[in-house]
Structure 1
Amino acid sequence: MKIAIRLDDITPDMNWSNFERFKSLLDKYNIKALLGIVPENRDPKLMINLPRKDFWEYIGDLQKEGWTLAMHGFHHVYTTHNGGLLPLNRNSEFAGLSFNRQDRMIRSGKMLLEKNGITTDIFMAPSHSYDMNTLRALKKNGFTGITDGFGKGPYMWEDIVFYPISFKKSSSLKSKKEGCVTFVVHTNTMTDKDFEAYEKLFSSRRDDIVSYSELLKIRPVVAGKYHHAMEKRMADTKYFLREGLRLGKNLRKKLKKRS
């Protein structure tokens, strides 16, 4: 199984030291990732550094060098608690909103990117959350691909190509199947331990880690009749397991304080 890399939450005011550190690691192994660009960041959690003045020129140069770009939502501000079609989370900027509202948001986001010299037809939903209205609005506004879903390679569903993410990283690394999936990376919150783990991964699996453009070259298959139902069950399972671990951790902390 080949592995491509996507970097979420790319904004002018992101954690630049972490981003540049991870980019140096990617450059070392000649890996060009997918960058999820927020057209107009209004999420306080992503406002870490002062905005980089040459941000748009810098991102445009990366695109020219072979990095792939995606539109990562609009403002990256959650508006609902709807998990959408891939309920890995229960927050969304889009899922649950009307088609007209989503259409305006996606159109406005695309216009902002184009105003700053950035063109892309790939969409990256904040928290992986989107619904059928999102898909309709994306198609109306010229988007042809989404970086989400589960599978061993690109697949076509509702006239959009889905470029799957890894359901479980350890399983993807052990898999002997042909195909390619994406590892999702949030550089804003990476620790030294995270950097060390990716350094080890890139050095030990040089032939398996590929630039995102290689994933785009794979011809998509048509998703089977039950593919979406399977994805939803997998996403629900992952969400509830994660929530169970979180609640258990919080309970242990409370019990420790009482003792």
Structure 2
Amino acid sequence: MFDEDGSLDPVLKFILWFILAVAIAKVAWQWLTADVWHWVSVDVWGWVSEDVWGWLIGHPWWFSLIILGTLVLLCFVVFSDRTVYADYSDAEDTEEEYATAPVTEAPSVLTFRMKQLTAMSADGFEQACADLLARDGFVRARRVGGSGDLGADVVAWDPDDRKIVVQCKQYATPVASGAVQKFNGTAVPEHSADVAVIVALNGFTKPATDFAQRHNIVLIGRPELKRWAHGEHLYAVVDEQHSPA
């Protein structure tokens, strides 16, 4: 029903709105073809000769609708007037308030939704990983991926001056063992990595996971990526991933 970011599935949302629209249309049609015609042809003419209050008391549903409509209209007028007055007052004091208002700092915690990461280009996905490392306090975090990068898409250094080399895989399917083996052959010999990490948007195969465990390669699959992207420190995600159950 809900996706991993907590949003209602778009297809289900469309179906629910469609059902609601059909129900409203059916009720409206029955009301227009039955109640309204009866009201116009019988009740209105009877009202001309009856006492107004007696008619209202004799038709509780119409009485309720009239009262409710009046209240809604009144609230709309009142709040509309307040909004216009507030906008006008704010416009007069804009320059003074702008000059005296304290500067509001941007939020310090960078986060991404999984939908955002999925929709990014390959370069954008690599840059997002670099930005998350910088958010976590890694220094000189930068994207270095490109032609001839030998498996290093992002590099950075942690507070203990350990070099972290990250390979980013935005594949639609789990990363296979061959890709992990290839990265293992370049992370340390070519890039002098102290910590070798592969980030995969859609996880890893079982052989890839087994190989990484034997060669101390950190794998960040979809569940770990979600936690990292939503605000957890990378090392906190890694430590919990490798902690004994």
User: Which of the five TM-score ranges fits, normalised by the shorter chain?
Assistant: 0.3 to 0.5
In our comparison, the structure showing a higher alpha carbon Rg is 2
Structure having the higher strand fraction is 1
Using CA pairs under 8 Å that are at least 6 residues apart, name the structure with larger relative contact order, 1 or 2: 1
TM-score by length of 2: 0.33
Greater helix content:
2
